[in-house]
Structure 1
Amino acid sequence: MAQDYYALLDVSREAGNDELKKAYRKLARRLHPDVNDAPDAADRFKEVTNAYEVLSDPQKRAVYDRGGDPLSSGGMGGGGFGQGFSFDDIMDAFFGQGAGGRGGPRSRVQRGQDALLRMTIDLAEAAFGATHEIKVDTAVTCGTCDGRGGAEGAEPVTCGTCHGHGDVQHVQRSPLGNIRTSRPCPTCQGFGSVIADPCDECGGDGRVRSRRSLSVTIPPGVDQGTRIQMPGEGEVGPGGGPAGDLYLEINVGPHEVFTRRGDELRCQVTVPMTAAALGVHVELPTLEADLTDHEDASVVGLDITPGTQAGDLITVRAQGVPRLRSVGRGDLVVEVVVETPTRLDDEQRELLKKLAAVRDEEQPEARMSDAHRGSVFGRIKGAFR
């Protein structure tokens, strides 16, 4: 016995086929000359390949365990690596299960692809939910052949090229020996059978395109880019296979009054300068006013406190957007815009002059906003003081 094949593969003498294959794959990936440029890589690769060839064959393994060498010239039919050894396991080691062509014919019945449809809704529908009827153009099961692909009474017949295997073998000589690879059969495309008399409606695919109507329920709280999954409403698979899923991507159109930031709604309310100075209570329309079934919540009271400044923000709790798949709502944030009159009659002008005199504001001193303290303009202003 020239070499210890068990030691080469680093397995015990009781190792089963699965353990042997796992050990060989690990070593083959590391030692193959295409990925390992060490001077002895090719020799070591040949050694572990010979070891796997012997130990994975029950008859050769029995000869080896009795002290013989099944790969020697006097052994039982072995010729060593490159002289009849199947290269499937090497391909399997590098490219995964079935790379050597032992996966068999593939099924004609396959799952269909997922489909994506974009849908535009308004802000109120995104906030409070809605139900829409949509038109979907997808592949559906052929009604003529019921997904079989063949004409009435016709059945698939075994492919004469691959004889039902689904793939064809190719042998190529290389410095490492004969390399056998497999490719999907060009006649049957890997199915192992052919449909001699295909269906006139679907051409043998088992599906046709059709437009249909679907009812979609949009949950409250969706936002721009939210995707709604509708299982089984996508493309029907070849051979009448199960359908994929349909995804609806939501696009939210702009609103005339409100803007959205997450679960928060924002808007502006404009009041005269007298109302901002004295304070006022206003009734503000809410987003629910866009929906006829929310008339009881179409307005909300808003208190403008005396001395409110332009740009002040007032928060109204729980008047924003409902949280998606959760409880509660965001807030409504109102920005106050103070309107200064541009046209005054003589009486109004005199009243404002009297107010300015009372407040000693006839010649007021302009003040820079604190927001400029850290800005370039603020530093320039400070340099001239």
Structure 2
Amino acid sequence: MSSDWLGKDFYAVLGVPKGASVDDVRKAYRKLARDNHPDARPDDPRAEEKFKQISEAYSVLSSPAKRKEYDEQRTLFGSGAGAGYRFTGGAPGAGFDISDLLGGIFSGGTRTRAGSSQPRRGADVETEARISFDQAVDGVTVPLRTTSDAACRDCRGTGARAGTVPRVCPECEGSGMQTSASGGLFAMTEPCRVCRGRGMVVDDACPTCHGSGRGSSSSTMQVRIPAGVRDGQRIRLRGRGASGERGGPAGDLYVTVHVNPHRLFGRSGDHLTVRVPVTLDEAALGSTISVPTLDGRSVALKIPPGTPTGRTFRARGKGSIRRDGTRGDLLVTVEVQVPDELTDEARAAMEAYRTARGTADPRSTLFEPQG
């Protein structure tokens, strides 16, 4: 039974009651087909679709077997029931159609259905790439060697020895599936036990793949890692995975990128970060310092007087490349260095500074009562 039947009222399409005879169905069809034939209504864009609906309704209601099956389905589920009942889940492309459940309900014995012998999408392939920090910022093309499932090269995926061909499975008639029913309401659909769901039987198996039609394939490909990629980011390359079966499309290649850390620079979104030491006098009195950039050049950065450790300055346009081609910024965080040892002259200068500073305590606010 076609899944398209579930949401259609063929009696309404032909304009006949449920108990209409085959002659009544035939008369209604002939009249509607004549009036709605595309050649008779060349200016009506809906004529062709209407004609298809009429023809489909007639093909079901004029056949006693199809009509009985259709009527039983409508009685069980109600008029129009089942329309839109299509569920999907799990792996991409793996769907559940309610017609799969209903396919063998109304007929006893064993029934076959199509599906398993249809083209099948290839599996996705996972791999990893390790690149430098600079390459992650600017983008790079790297060679990647992958191993994936593929059609056997000797039999070209047929599973049969060279010079022979598989034959259609006589049990499932090439569908690869069987629906077994014991005369009850429900049935069970499973892969054909004779061909194991392939729809074809191999009498003389390929000695390389032992009849499976599959093998492993290793290849090296050039993969472009985009600029601005982050450590741990997963990149998807469509159609670069394992080849499909029976003419199906190839799967996808997923590349997890690992970025080696840089000795100076870090990342914060689209921005680069760097920590730069400044001397005590530079922080207190102010200065202009040179800050390195990732491209090996330097940028001048003005440090205003009274700059504390931890303050961050921004060098615009010196960061990572964004998707639109623009660059982020370089975020420069200063660290005020306190000398471990002082010369006699430096110590005297610091003593003089302490005397000049007076008795002001920068920690006094820490001990104020909370309001």
* Correspondent of 1:366 among 351, 362, 367: 362
Question: Partner residue of 2:337?
Answer: 339
Rg larger for? 1
Question: Partner residue of 2:306?
Answer: 307
Count of residues in Structure 1 that have an aligned counterpart in Structure 2: 304
> Pairwise mapping of residues 26-175 of structure 1 onto structure 2 (< 5 A)?
55=18, 59=22, 62=25, 93=82, 95-99=97-101, 100=103, 103-104=113-114, 106-107=116-117, 109-174=119-184
Would the alpha carbon gap of residues 164 and 346 (structure 1) be closer, same or farther in structure 2, given more than 3 Å must change?
Answer: closer
Structure 2: segments with no counterpart, 5+ residues: 10-16, 29-62, 86-96, 105-111
Structure 1 position 230 matched with structure 2 position 237: yes
C-alpha separation in 1, matches of 2:337 and 2:144: 45
Report runs of 4+ in structure 1 exceeding 6 Å deviation.
17-20
Structure 1 position 352 matched with structure 2 position 359: no
Question: RMSD of the TM alignment (CA)?
Answer: 3.8
| Per-residue CA distance 1:192-214 (angstroms, 9 max, x = gap) | 32111221112233331132211
Mapped contact 1:140–1:207 kept (Cα < 8 A): yes
Mapped contact 2:113–2:179 kept (Cα < 8 A): no
Would the alpha carbon gap of residues 164 and 233 (structure 1) be closer, same or farther in structure 2, given more than 3 Å must change?
Answer: closer
| Per-residue CA distance 1:128-164 (angstroms, 9 max, x = gap) | 1112112211123322112222111211112232344
Would the alpha carbon gap of residues 106 and 57 (structure 1) be closer, same or farther in structure 2, given more than 3 Å must change?
Answer: farther
C-alpha separation in 2, matches of 1:253 and 1:85: 66
Question: Please, which moves more after superposition, 279-288 or 127-136?
Answer: 279-288
Q: Provide the secondary structure at the position in 2 that maps to 1:135.
A: strand
Question: Which one-letter code corresponds to 2:270 in the other structure?
Answer: D
C-alpha separation in 2, matches of 1:356 and 1:167: 91
Mapped contact 1:207–1:240 kept (Cα < 8 A): no
Q: Provide the secondary structure at the position in 2 that maps to 1:355.
A: helix
Question: Partner residue of 1:373?
Answer: none
Mapped contact 1:128–1:322 kept (Cα < 8 A): yes
Using the TM superposition, give the Cα deviation of residue 61 of structure 1 relative to its aligned residue in structure 2, in angstroms.
7.5
Would the alpha carbon gap of residues 103 and 225 (structure 1) be closer, same or farther in structure 2, given more than 3 Å must change?
Answer: farther
Q: TM-score, normalised by structure 2?
A: 0.69
Question: Partner residue of 1:218?
Answer: 225
> Pairwise mapping of residues 174-213 of structure 1 onto structure 2 (< 5 A)?
174=184, 178-179=185-186, 181-213=188-220
| Per-residue CA distance 1:23-68 (angstroms, 9 max, x = gap) | 57xxxxxxxxxxxxxxxxxxxxxxxxxxxxx9599839749x9xxx
| Per-residue CA distance 1:211-245 (angstroms, 9 max, x = gap) | 22111111211123433332322112235644211
Structure 1: segments with no counterpart, 5+ residues: 1-16, 25-53, 66-75, 290-297, 370-377
Using the TM superposition, give the Cα deviation of residue 273 of structure 1 relative to its aligned residue in structure 2, in angstroms.
0.4
C-alpha separation in 2, matches of 1:200 and 1:315: 67
Mapped contact 2:3–2:99 kept (Cα < 8 A): no
Question: Partner residue of 1:37?
Answer: none
Question: Partner residue of 1:321?
Answer: 320
Question: Partner residue of 2:269?
Answer: 262
Mapped contact 1:309–1:338 kept (Cα < 8 A): yes
C-alpha separation in 1, matches of 2:321 and 2:228: 5
Using the TM superposition, give the Cα deviation of residue 337 of structure 1 relative to its aligned residue in structure 2, in angstroms.
0.8
Q: Provide the secondary structure at the position in 2 that maps to 1:189.
A: coil
Mapped contact 1:282–1:301 kept (Cα < 8 A): yes
Would the alpha carbon gap of residues 286 and 242 (structure 1) be closer, same or farther in structure 2, given more than 3 Å must change?
Answer: same
C-alpha separation in 1, matches of 2:210 and 2:368: 81
Mapped contact 2:123–2:149 kept (Cα < 8 A): no
Q: TM-score, normalised by structure 1?
A: 0.67
Mapped contact 2:122–2:243 kept (Cα < 8 A): yes
Mapped contact 2:314–2:330 kept (Cα < 8 A): yes
Question: Partner residue of 2:260?
Answer: 253
Q: Provide the secondary structure at the position in 2 that maps to 1:271.
A: strand
C-alpha separation in 2, matches of 1:170 and 1:58: 33
C-alpha separation in 1, matches of 2:225 and 2:124: 19
Q: Provide the secondary structure at the position in 2 that maps to 1:274.
A: helix
Using the TM superposition, give the Cα deviation of residue 259 of structure 1 relative to its aligned residue in structure 2, in angstroms.
1.7
Question: Which one-letter code corresponds to 1:133 in the other structure?
Answer: P
Question: Which one-letter code corresponds to 1:221 in the other structure?
Answer: G
Mapped contact 1:226–1:250 kept (Cα < 8 A): yes
C-alpha separation in 2, matches of 1:203 and 1:18: 37
% of aligned pairs identical? 31
Using the TM superposition, give the Cα deviation of residue 354 of structure 1 relative to its aligned residue in structure 2, in angstroms.
2.3
Mapped contact 1:268–1:334 kept (Cα < 8 A): yes
Mapped contact 1:207–1:236 kept (Cα < 8 A): no
Question: Partner residue of 1:287?
Answer: 294
Would the alpha carbon gap of residues 60 and 252 (structure 1) be closer, same or farther in structure 2, given more than 3 Å must change?
Answer: farther
